[in-house]
Amino acid sequence: MTTATVLREPAVAAPRPAQPHVHVRDLTVRYAAQDPLVLDGVHLDLFPGEMVALLGASGSGKSTLMKTLTGFAPVTSGTVRVGDTDLTALRRGQLRTLRSDVGQVFQQFNLIGRLSVLTNVLTGSLHRAGAVNLLGTFRGADRRRALALLDRVGIAHKADAEARTLSGGQQQRVAIARALMQEPTLILADEPVASLDPTMSRTVLELLQSIAREEKIPVLVSLHVLPLALDHSDRIVGLRHGEIVVSGRTDELDADHLAPVYEVDAAEGEEE
């Protein structure tokens, strides 16, 4: 075996680009003035080509952190930059552009069930001017690209099926193809495998990690299952009560290192 194929070996890992695509410093978030802080002093950099797993108990702030990156949650203080966009000093129209650059994948897939798989993927191109002609049909070039993406995620044979007739794992792969149709510069996947069986969970996470590498974009994925994070990420960030309590390269972490993420305070009792 040649060393060139050993992607996880630190000695041959590609050098990380100097500039992070996502840069978060001292981020605090509260949803309303009288509410407690949901995120408290968060630092996070995401680099092109890496898959970063976000761990944390329910309510620790994972979804909120993802939402701040697309302007769906408020930045109470701190710095949040995604590409060239400063989320704390948004100019008119910037948010729409940012959101069209970010591919999102959700636990419940969020497909339009009555539409074909192909059309669902094509909706990923709708943010672009001219994607649909006057007759309401998609451009031929986009259709070819959507089919190629379905082939890439392994379900080209389902292109004409109604999305609702697909299994959960197949639907999630359609959702990933739809996100790729946007030509994203960042993918945010909020618990993308929480509704899938263990085998399909691994298939979907492998797909996301290969996308990070091949497209040279960061993929941030929140997970609840520790072994999945350890097997399918380049870096792990652990949130607890809105604070990052663990952050490091996956190959340098084990379950013991990650224990603080799930520690329950004596005072918390059964609340969570």
Ligand X SMILES: Nc1ncnc2c1ncn2[C@@H]1O[C@H](COP(=O)(O)OP(=O)(O)OP(=O)(O)O)[C@@H](O)[C@H]1O
Q: Which residues bind Mg ion (CB under 5 A)?
A: 62-63
Check residue 61 for interaction with ligand X (CB under 6 A): yes
Residue nearest to Mg ion (CB): 63
CB of 107 to Mg ion, least distance (A): 8
Based on CB atoms, which residue is closest to ligand X, 60 or 170?
60
CB of 118 to ligand X, least distance (A): 31
Select the binding partner of residue 233 from Mg ion, ligand X, none (C-beta < 5 to 8 A, by kind): none
CB of 191 to ligand X, least distance (A): 6
Between helices 140-152 and 168-181, what is the axis angle to 10°? Answer: 130
Task: Check residue 95 and report its DSSP letter.
Answer: H
Q: CB–CB of 217/234 below 8 Å? A: no
Q: What is the dihedral of CA 168, 170, 171, 173, to 10 degrees?
A: 120
Say if residue 127 is exposed, middle or buried (CB neighbours under 10 Å; 0-12, 13-18, 19+). Answer: middle
Select the binding partner of residue 240 from Mg ion, ligand X, none (C-beta < 5 to 8 A, by kind): none
Among 48, 49, 56, 169, binds ligand X (CB under 6 A): 56
Among 12, 14, 26, 31, binds ligand X (CB under 6 A): 31
Based on CB atoms, which residue is closest to ligand X, 31 or 210?
31
Q: What is the dihedral of CA 105, 110, 114, 116, to 10 degrees?
A: -10
**DSSP secondary structure letters along 23-70:** EEEEEEE-SSTTSPPSEEEEEEEE-TT-EEEEEE-TTSSHHHHHHHTT
Binding segment for ligand X among 61-69, 86-94, 195-203, 208-216 (CB under 6 A)? 61-69
> In angstroms, how far apart are the furthest CA atoms of the chain?
63
User: Phi, psi (5° rounding) for residue 70?
Assistant: -120, 15
Based on CB atoms, which residue is closest to ligand X, 180 or 204?
204
CB of 63 to Mg ion, least distance (A): 3
- Which residues would be at the binding site for ligand X (CB under 6 A)? 31, 38, 56, 58-64
